[in-house]
Amino acid sequence: MANKNIDMSKLRQIIKLYCWKQGSRTIRDATGVSRCTVQKYIAQFQRLKVPWDELSKLNDQELETLFHPDPVTPDPPERQKELYAFFPYAEKRLKQPGMTLQLLWKEYSLKHLDGFQSTGFYKHFKRWKGQSHPSMRMKHKAGDKMYIDFTGKKLHIIDTSTGEVIAVEVFIAILGASQLTYVEATGGQDMTDFILACENALHFFGGATAAVVPDNLKSAVIKSNRYEPHLNENFEAFADHYGMTVLPARAYKPKDKALVEGMVKIIYNRIYTNLHEQEFTSLPEINEAIWKHLEAHNQTNFQGRPYSRREQFDEMEKQLLQPLPPMRFEMREQVIVTVMKNGHVCLNRDKHYYSVPYQNIGKKVKLLYSKSRIEIFYKYELIGSHERVKGLGIYTTDPAHMASYHQHLTDWNPVRFMEEAHKIHSDVGSYIEQVILKKPHPEQAYKSCQGILSFAKRLGNERLIRACQRAHQCGVYQYRIIESILVRNLDQYDIEEDTHPMPKHDNIRGEDYYK
């Protein structure tokens, strides 16, 4: 009790009873305060030489200040000042992989031969760290993590054609160690905008971190889970493209993303307030203004530190980022299709056909396609890859995929189609033979052959024979010409040979020109 400050009401009782000539034992019994404490306050009252009449008029705070003044903190010795001046440098070095306090103490002791020993060094660093960052508990290694999120408050642009005010989202990315920050206004939070903003952040930093920490956005995490969250396939592919691991922040655990949450408040103060009175008509225009203030933010020194985010990044994090791949990431979409009997799959969006190994005929496969590539998977195994070609009804074929020398594996083969055609008529057989020969690979003609022969069942053999004869005279061997002849009933008319000679004219070169 003697070492603790007592309540001011008891202090008043002690002083009042003393002034009434009561002894310390009587005061102890009346107030319940130990005799030593009573004697301590009586002695302090005597030293103050303040009459009881004046003392009784003071409020509790004034009485507290009078009897319990703040202790005067002496200036720290020069040796301690040098130690605390070393700590900002030590804090930055600790963010480098493999760095420890023991190594830093050794570095300090070489420069200060009369400095603190390791125990004192650790104790003072812990005290300095608590005063500098009272709420910070997470340690961030350089090049380790990039934290990403969207701000809660939106910015706005004006559509000049309609005058409509359009809300835009604001994306933030921050590096864990240096706290270098990237900010960008986007059209929304959908997958395309989100991944593009993440990619722009990596190019702004000039490299990729080992991991990316998103909030539980649907564009990144389809379903959160404490142990095994279900990631969005495209975002996972994006992270894999840049060599990063996805570590979603846990739901209802704000400390997992404390850096980016704190940065949102700073961005409100340093960027939003500067854009408050301005009007913008496009995303590039508003982003240009954002990036101007963003650079000022990154160049501003940390509070209580002699260095900025940009300086800290250049000094100890920039060189530890992973190099970026030469090609940017391309979003991929997927579709499940069945391999046709001609050994191809159809991407319905383009109406284009791509080959797969003949062993997969009749199986259901997954097509993953981007703007430039088509990848075909069967049971998680890549079985085919092609450049994406947007040509209606055209085949892209890898010769190694074709079954030309393994025709017994499928009931679709050239012999079967030619035999079926010859059963109808020799002219149909000859025409089908030409359809097959005109393709680089016989398999590419199977769909056309099937379509042509199907007209015999729908319209009769005679019409198909006449259509094939007419198409043969035109020298065109494909399904579409047969279809066109039959739809327009041209098979009902005889082909008239053109007996009129080419007229003479100075601008017509004549057949001799091409010999």
Per-residue pLDDT for 406 more than 70?
no
For residues 57-61, give the mean pLDDT.
Answer: 76
Q: Which long-range contacts (CB under 8 A, 24 or more apart) does 502-510 make?
A: none
Segment among 96-110, 298-312, 381-395, 500-514 with least mean pLDDT: 500-514
Helix or strand run (H / E) with residue 345: strand 344-347
For residues 238-249, give the mean pLDDT.
Answer: 85
Please say whether the beta carbons of 213 and 254 come within 8 A. no
Tens digit of each residue's pLDDT (9 = 90 or more) over 171-229: 999 998 888 999 999 988 888 888 899 999 999 999 999 988 887 666 666 565 555 56
Q: pTM for the whole thing?
A: 0.51
Helix or strand run (H / E) with residue 383: strand 381-387
> Which residues in 199-287 belong to E strands, given as ranges?
211-214, 221-223, 230-231, 245-246
DSSP secondary structure, 280-331, as one string: -SSHHHHHHHHHHHHHHHHHSBPTT-SSBHHHHHHHHTGGGSBPPPSSPP--
Pairwise CA distance, residues 299 & 312, whole Å? 10
Q: Cα dist. 369→167, 281, 355 in Å?
A: 32, 34, 14
Q: What percent of the chain has pLDDT over 90?
A: 13
366 φ, ψ (degrees, to nearest 5): -105, 130
Q: What are the domain boundaries of the chain?
A: 8-67, 78-132, 145-320, 333-401, 411-492
Pairwise CA distance, residues 310 & 452, whole Å? 69
Helix%, strand%, coil% for the chain, nearest 5: 45, 15, 40
At residue 405, the pLDDT reads: 43
Pairwise CA distance, residues 471 & 358, whole Å? 31
Tens digit of each residue's pLDDT (9 = 90 or more) over 432-449: 888 888 877 777 788 888
- From the options 3.40.50.920, 3.90.440.10, 3.30.420.10, 2.30.30.700, give the CATH code of 145-320: 3.30.420.10
